[in-house]
Chains A and B, each alone.
Chain A
Amino acid sequence: AQKVTQAQTEISVVEKEDVTLDCVYETRDTTYYLFWYKQPPSGELVFLIRRNSFDEQNEISGRYSWNFQKSTSSFNFTITASQVVDSAVYFCALSEEYSNYQLIWGAGTKLIIKP
């Protein structure tokens, strides 16, 4: 069974629009971590955020914000006022307590920001 689902394969928006990338996860653990990583065309995965399962506060970092909802097992990522440099593949990932070194990755969402 898919543990991390990113249903949006590709999203294309015009610059300055807001865009939300969805992530739904599945776990039986009560202690777990969720992550978002960005993979620009250069290929290097860049860490964006880590959220533990006990902290449901939403987080904002500049134009980026994250909405963690345990009730729906979702950890969505919103980019406000998108820019061309935001174009990349974005991955959501899950790390469960019993397996503290394995990240379970979603398939990624390719985000295209058109000028």
Chain B
Amino acid sequence: GAGVSQSPRYKVAKRGQDVALRCDPISGHVSLFWYQQALGQGPEFLTYFQNEAQLDKSGLPSDRFFAERPEGSVSTLKIQRTQQEDSAVYLCASSERQGSYNSPLHFGNGTRLTVT
């Protein structure tokens, strides 16, 4: 069956470039999360959507980071003027119900962003 799909799988950007990372959640899933995972670390929360509403963006590290989910399905994480410290794996997850403990999170394979 279709899981969470993320694209691109790998992205190399020169410092200062803008990037857009896409997430296709499982159809019908209410909740969508973005996480940032540095090498050898656990995922760090970035932002949470319940349908099209962005309920929490407290984890976004700076105003260069922006996420949207305009129709309550596909989501895009945009990073403007990328910096080297933005290099990480960006994980998207969806769940059937609201929140992260009402139902398990289903993760995509992530997008590995390298900023040179």
A residues sitting closer than 8 Å to B (CB atoms) are: 4, 33, 35, 37, 42-47, 50, 52, 91, 93, 95, 100-103, 105-108
Q: With A105-B43, A106-B42, A108-B42 as known contacts, state yes or no: A47 contacts B99, CB within 8 Å.
A: no
A45 near B93: Cβ-Cβ < 8 Å? yes
> A residues within 8 A CB of B91?
45
> B residues within 8 A CB of A44?
3, 107-110
A106, B41: Cα distance in complex, Å: 8
In the assembled complex, the CB of B90 is this many whole angstroms from the nearest CB of chain A, namely: 11
A20, B106: Cα distance in complex, Å: 25
The 9 A-B pairs at the shortest CB distance, nearest first, are namely A105-B42, A100-B99, A47-B104, A45-B107, A33-B101, A95-B101, A101-B99, A44-B109, A101-B48
> A residues within 8 A CB of B45?
102-103
12 contacting pairs across A/B (C-beta < 8 A): A4-B42, A42-B109, A43-B89, A46-B107, A91-B43, A95-B100, A100-B102, A101-B98, A103-B45, A103-B100, A107-B41, A108-B41
Q: Is B2 positioned at the interface, with any CB of A under 8 Å from its CB?
A: no
B93 to chain A: closest residue by CB = A45
A100, B33: Cα distance in complex, Å: 12
Give the residue of B3, B56, B89, B112 whose beta carbon is less than 8 angstroms from that of A102: B56
Total number of B residues with any Cβ neighbor in A under 8 Å: 29
How many A-B residue pairs have C-beta atoms within 8 angstroms? Tell me: 65
> B residues within 8 A CB of A37?
105, 107
B56 near A101: Cβ-Cβ < 8 Å? yes
> A residues within 8 A CB of B107?
37, 44-46
> B residues within 8 A CB of A46?
107
> A residues within 8 A CB of B42?
4, 91, 93, 105-108
Give the residue of B40, B41, B50, B110 whose beta carbon is less than 8 angstroms from that of A43: B110
Q: With A100-B100, A101-B99 as known contacts, state yes or no: A45 contacts B56, CB within 8 Å.
A: no
